[in-house]
Structure 1
Amino acid sequence: MAIDVTSEIEIARPRAVVAGFSADPDNVPRWYVNIDSVEWKTPRPARVGSRIGFVARFLGRRLVYTYEIVELVPGEKLVMRTAEGPFPMETGYAWRDAGEGRTHMTLRNRGTPTGFSRLMAPFMALAVRRSTDRDLLRLKTILEATG
């Protein structure tokens, strides 16, 4: 069973600010509750082909994986993929204007669990939904507090 979870939020900050902050891997530990650290595997700045290592906690487990940026349209879209671990995944961000000084952001996570994880897919989808909703609320709080 594939997992495909999309969360959305509106943030009272201009799209350039929201996209610039959220697309910068160095900021990820600030707004993703379960990401502990990032490590650049390729030189900055982020671009198609960039590889970034992440250390995360999910469902009580420590996960270490490397994402590769496969699509990047600054201020509009970012897509990253990993084929590592029990849960190969693609994460995508999209941003669009939502009125004067406001941004609509979409965060999509999709993948197909392998091995034992595949049996847990329905539970994992719910956990991913809760986590991404919480992450977007945290991002909103951070960015609106700095505006």
Structure 2
Amino acid sequence: MVDVFTEIIIQSPRDKVSDYAANPNHAPEWYENIESAEWRTESPLRVGSQVAFKARFLGRELAYVYQVTEYIPGEKLVMKTAEGPFPMETIYTWESIGGHSTRMTLRNRGNPSGFSKVFAPFMSAMMKKANRKDLQKIKSILEDA
């Protein structure tokens, strides 16, 4: 089982942070490992939306499709892989802190199978490191904007 939780405080209003983070078009800008995001369904984002991502992780190219299973604009976004190398769920939450800051959380969890199962503990550590970098990147993008 892989279950990685990271969070960050961003000095920017919740609506601005959540609108940016929940937009798949921005993913390649702040996710170091994501190379592209392509809508499989019409935008805007809503429950049932599907987005195909191409990423590079641990030296491998990955292609997977996420489907939105829960979306409360400004508060929470839950996506699960509809297709891809192993079942994964990604959860974002946004919470206002004071007047102009936001606590953003990012959680990835899933069950690698087959050969990938052997690497689950290593994958967790690498994902946590990557997620921290990604949250630092979105923080710098939004605080400098």
TM-score, structure 2 length as denominator? 0.98
- The aligned amino acid for 1:80 is M
Q: Secondary structure at the match of 1:143?
A: helix
Structure 2 match to 1:52: 51
Matches within 5 A, 1:1-147: 2-146=1-145
TM-score by length of 1: 0.97
Letter in 2 for 1:97: S
What is the DSSP-based 3-state SS (H/G/I as helix, E as strand, rest coil) of the residue aligned with 1:117?
A: helix
Deviation of 1:100 (Å): 1.8
Q: Deviations over 1:51-105 (max 9, x none)?
A: 0000000000000010000000000000000043332100010000111200000
Whether the 8 Å contact between 1:52 and 1:66 is mirrored in structure 2 is: yes
Q: Which amino acid aligns with 1:76?
A: E
CA contact under 8 A between 2:65 and 2:84: conserved in structure 1?
no
- Structure 2: runs of 5+ lacking an equivalent: none
Q: In structure 2, what is the Cα distance between the partners aligned to 1:66 and 1:75?
A: 23
Q: Which amino acid aligns with 1:72?
A: Y
| Cα distance between partner residues in 1 of 2:108 and 2:47 | 18
Q: Could you tell me how far apart the structure 1 residues matched to 2:19 and 2:106 are?
A: 15
Q: Deviations over 1:10-47 (max 9, x none)?
A: 00000000000000000000000000001100001000
**C-alpha contact (below 8 Å) 1:86/1:115 kept by paired residues:** no
| Structure 1, unaligned runs of 5 or more | none
Structure 1 segments, 4+ long, off by >4 Å, are none
State the number of aligned residues: 145
RMSD: 0.7
What is the percent sequence identity of the aligned residues?
A: 53
